[in-house]
Structure 1
């Protein structure tokens, strides 16, 4: 009987941009929104590894093969007067589900948040994604925030609003 391979976590490098795009597209496909992905490898190279990195990526690997990805960035809480860590995307390859990959990625981010003195770590899940919600509530023991309503400005609405006096 063979042992389950150990999960290793590593930071992404600029050479990983095609892999970051693949995981992003896989997530979008799962979320039934592949047509909304505008990202490119060049855009990831600029925004993640350029002079001002806007976010960071870590990979979970089994046998040195990336099977999960987390994209995160730091934000700030005025109420806590501390930074926070925001998990934007968590993606685990279908072949690696139920092997602890998602847990390992979130645990690594939690450890990072603690090391950086963050007051909290937050993320969102689509309201129809019951497997993710159950995982976050029962395995991770996160608290669901139901008192907040998300808002977004993008595309023409963002540009139009920004251009008004």
Structure 2
């Protein structure tokens, strides 16, 4: 399993994963609305001069099988950044297969995609 960051060439793929995620959420009763996203909106908001979020893909045998959409936020009370995972989706046939990824922002935290399907945020200063 390999993990890679999305590029502007992946806009159609990102849109496809968002559609799959919305259908999954709809099936479990977590979403009943109408998707308002478009490939144009994805391109402008994720690959413009100031990206609002980032995408990672999990790949298996040169095929993308999952995606994570995340961004960074800042806690004024804690005085440190944190990572916000907004969407995580893995194709049904690839669930429970495990993938691990590290994505650093500054020297503060990383996102780990671990085999037991748990997402952990780790402050590097605390180990």
TM-score range, shorter chain: 0.7 to 0.9
2:118 match: 140
Q: Point out where structure 2 has 5 or more consecutive residues left out of the alignment.
A: 121-127
Q: How does 1:120-135 map to 2 (within 5 A)?
A: none
* Structure possessing the higher relative contact order (Cα contacts under 8 Å, 6 or more residues apart): 2
Equivalent of 2:20, from 9, 20, 26? 26
RMSD (Å) for aligned C-alpha atoms: 2.4
Greater strand proportion: 2
Q: Distance in 1 between matches of 2:60 and 2:90?
A: 11
Cα shift at 1:97: 1.1
In structure 1, what is the equivalent of residue 81 of structure 2? 83
Q: TM-score, normalised by structure 1?
A: 0.61
Show the counterpart of 1:61.
59
- Out of 103, 109, 112, the position equivalent to 1:112 is 103
Structure 1 contact 23–69 (Cα < 8 Å) conserved = yes
What's the TM-score once normalised by structure 2's chain length?
Answer: 0.78
Distance in 2 between residues matched to 1:58 and 1:141, nearest whole Å: 14
CA contact (8 A) 2:98 2:117 kept: no
CA deviation string 1:102-145 (max 9, x = no partner): xx2xxx2xx43576314x97xxxxxxxxxxxxx9xx75376xxx
Distance 2:98 2:7 in 1: 23
Count of residues in Structure 1 that have an aligned counterpart in Structure 2: 113
Structure 1 portions without partners, runs of 5+: 1-6, 122-134, 143-165
User: Greater CA radius of gyration, 1 or 2?
Assistant: 1
Contact 1:84 1:113 in 2 (8 A): no
Question: Distance in 1 between the 2:106 and 2:62 partners?
Answer: 25
